[in-house]
Amino acid sequence: DNDTIVPTVSSKDHKKVFEGETGLNTGGMGTFSPSEIYTEKLAKEVQEKILDKTLEGFKKDNLNYKGILFVGLMITEDGPKILEYNVRFGDPETQSVLFRLDTDLNKIISEILDNNLKNIEINYSKEEAICVMLTSGGYPENYEKGKVISGLENLDSDIVVFHSGTKFDNENIVTNGGRVIGITAKGKTVKEAAQKVYENIKKINFEKMHYRKDTNCISLTSNANIAVNYGRGSYKDKYVMVKIPK
Q: pLDDT tens digit string along 157-216?
A: 999 999 999 999 999 999 999 999 999 999 999 999 999 999 999 999 999 999 998 744
Task: For the chain, report the end-to-end CA distance as a whole number of angstroms.
Answer: 47
Cβ contact 200:158 at 8 Å: no
Using a pLDDT cut of 70, give the percent of the chain over it.
Answer: 87
Whole-number Cα distances in Å, 130 to 2, 88, 192 = 32, 20, 9
Flag whether the pTM goes above 0.85.
no
Q: Is the pLDDT at 230 greater than 50, yes or no?
A: no
- Report d(CA 144, CA 235) in Å as an integer: 34
Cα-flanking dihedrals φ and ψ of residue 31, to 5°?
A: -145, 160
Instruction: List 150's β-bridge partners, or say none.
Output: 205
Burial 202-232 (b: 16+ CB within 10 A, else e): eebebeebbbbebebbbbbbeebbbbbbbbb
**How many Å apart are CA 184 and CA 162, to the nearest integer?**
8
pLDDT at 130: 94
**Which of 104, 128, 116 is CA-nearest to residue 9?**
128
Bond prior to 92 in cis (omega within 30° of 0): yes
d(CA 162, CA 145): 18
In the prediction, which pLDDT does 214 show? Answer: 79
